[in-house]
Structure 1
């Protein structure tokens, strides 16, 4: 029988090196990963609802003063250390390896971020998701997350109504995984959706491709793709509906 299935039925992995888009504000430094740039001839720096994944560094004793976000979802993932948050709604929150924060900025949300002098140096991911609609009701979610199980994906946020502990206003699911050296798992996938994978620590084999520290890939395939750790590694993955309606008027995640 002749295979007449579309090309996306065959695994396609588009890899990207460490980003060269960065900002240095002294005690606060950021590196912007744009998933859409990994895919040849893709006309968007983002990929569907996922605008950018920002690797952020804050030295001890750093204050990012009160500022506003609009029309974007900002997720703070802190695998080590602490990130301290306060806002004009009266919240004083600490995000750490046991908690995840989602800021649904909507029509406008003011907040500040800080590390104290006695806090350890902070390296985290700040994830920017494009909402499906403009000027939604703003709010913040700050929840404990399940304990990590070695070599298994942990589901941390998803669209409203999913079984993840926190939600965003569009079709993106987020997972993390800590892999022992030599361990293998399967990249999260959903039929008709694509997956963006980022190596936070370590190095992995993604299918037949190699990804090192801070390298990433967009996988456009419906079939399973293996992830094998060449060394102890921490990997995050985003399952994305590339056809989801998006807005592009976020303060940062346009």
Structure 2
């Protein structure tokens, strides 16, 4: 839907169904959401600095062996369960509902991921942001995050210098929200920026559009846009500067 009328009351948005781009490695499975593909004739699978949002599954007792990432910012958001990380810098970290991890891969960062046999099945988002410059210094961030409050957006990462608890090296802000059925919130927005919404659980309505489980919407307005849950939902939103300078040489998030 794209209504450019001067009397428009519905937000300008493009919706996308559940992705059909996936990889199955047995105990590790991924579904790749490409925000740029929501826009007809858009020549980039990503949207500005947001390259891809990956829905990742790890069964109990899964090891993803040590491997390298370069020139991408990788964020691990785990609403339930645990993801265990170790790296060549000697870090052994557990990311769960109380922590978020950002791996600023830069010129190169080696890490491994694991779930133990007695860990619960894991479903998480791994978010790939394109940095503004190549071969930046590699860095790892692992921080506690505030408790989630129903109906309120929780700001989890943003550009360097923002008030978010973690940072990425480009113009993307990320927030999550838990909405009870029937509740309404306002989509995060910034002047001149666009917003990508992903429904991790449940279903919502934006204007006259329904966005269901694992579906997404790209809103190209920067004013107030209402989101109403039609069932208990967990949603995430990315505020994106579509004109930010980007690089496209990430290991995965090109």
TM-score by length of 1: 0.96
After superposition, residues 132-171 of structure 1 pair within 5 angstroms as: 132-171=132-171
Aligned partner of 1:221 in structure 2 is 221
8 Å Cα contact 1:8/1:221 also seen in 2: no
8 Å Cα contact 1:82/1:94 also seen in 2: yes
- For structure 2, the 5+ residue unaligned runs are none
Aligned partner of 2:210 in structure 1 is 210
CA–CA separation in structure 2 for the residues paired with 1:175 and 1:21: 24
Is 190-199 or 5-14 further displaced after alignment?
A: 5-14
SS in 2 for 1:36: helix
8 Å Cα contact 1:14/1:39 also seen in 2: yes
8 Å Cα contact 1:10/1:221 also seen in 2: no
Pairwise CA RMSD: 1.6
8 Å Cα contact 2:10/2:207 also seen in 1: no
CA–CA separation in structure 2 for the residues paired with 1:208 and 1:224: 15
After superposition, residues 22-101 of structure 1 pair within 5 angstroms as: 22-101=22-101
- For structure 1, the 5+ residue unaligned runs are none
SS in 1 for 2:231: coil
CA–CA separation in structure 1 for the residues paired with 2:7 and 2:47: 19
Deviation (angstroms), 1:5: 10
Stretches (4+) displaced over 6 A: 4-10
Are 2:184 and 1:184 equivalent residues in the alignment? yes
Deviation (angstroms), 1:9: 10
Number of aligned residue pairs: give it.
251
Aligned partner of 1:194 in structure 2 is 194
Distance 1:125 1:86, change over 3 A: same
Deviation (angstroms), 1:11: 2.4
